[in-house]
Chains A and B, each alone.
Chain A
Amino acid sequence: QVQLQESGPGLVKPSQTLSLTCTVSGGSISSGSYYWSWIRQPAGKGLEWIGRIYTSGSTNYNPSLKSRVTISVDTSKNQFSLKLSSVTAADTAVYYCARDAGLQFYFDYWGQGTLVTVSS
């Protein structure tokens, strides 16, 4: 059973960079044709896909965030990471990591989510 777990600071100051890591357990991040995504959800609001990465390093980003987002992967640690730069209060949200099956770009495994608050 694949499990995903987000980790990182819960509080980030405005204009700084938000950094989160997702650790995958129960299987290798490199096995199969899976992509690994970040999705966020502001309190009481809907879901926004941020971007995804394949273990080759190939990435896709949401154009609305592309200029500020970097997603990377460390296969040796079975982890992938998110960096979001120049954050504002609008970036306050629960951040989820999730797995999708590539061409079948829906999410079958999710992390529990981690709340990141942007505040001084």
Chain B
Amino acid sequence: AIRMTQSPSSLSASTGDRVTITCRASQGISSYLAWYQQKPGKAPKLLIYAASTLQSGVPSRFSGSGSGTDFTLTISCLQSEDFATYYCQQYYSYPITFGQGTRLEIK
């Protein structure tokens, strides 16, 4: 199985900050990568797919980039509602796998 490693595992930031979360795949996955946001007690919400395509309805302050093994999720201007846990997911090969998550906390 392809291992997905996110960094950092946790991150403290302030409203208005720009933050970047990294996801690294243990082997090349082309652009078959998605990003999700999860708030406590809620299901994950799809933010980005195909590494950089914004899901409908997701604010444009979210962006994704990368291909191959290295990917990033950037939030350009943090809002209060963005404090959550973020997961990457590869769908290049079975079994599909997720990163361990990055918890974004208020500083």
Contacts and interface: CB of A to CB of B under 8 A. Distances in A.
A47 B89 CA distance: 9
Interface stretch (A20-28, A81-89, A108-116): A108-116
Interface stretch (B15-23, B72-80, B96-104): B96-104
Contacts of B36: 107
Contacts of B42: 112
A49 B97 contact: yes
A46 B87 contact: yes
Contacts of A98: 43
Contact of A96 (B43, B49, B55): B43
A74 interface: no
Interface in B45-89: 45-46, 49-50, 55, 87, 89
Interface residues of A, number: 20
Contacts of A112: 42-43
Interface of B: 1, 32, 34, 36, 42-46, 49-50, 55, 87, 89, 91, 94-101
Given A46-B87, A104-B49, A112-B43, 8 more contacts: A46-B99, A47-B98, A62-B94, A63-B94, A63-B95, A106-B34, A106-B91, A113-B43
Interface of A: 46-49, 60, 62-64, 96, 98, 100, 104-108, 110-113
24 contacts: A46-B87, A46-B98, A46-B101, A47-B44, A47-B87, A48-B98, A49-B95, A49-B96, A49-B97, A62-B94, A63-B95, A96-B43, A104-B50, A104-B91, A105-B32, A105-B91, A106-B49, A107-B36, A107-B46, A107-B89, A108-B46, A108-B55, A110-B43, A112-B42
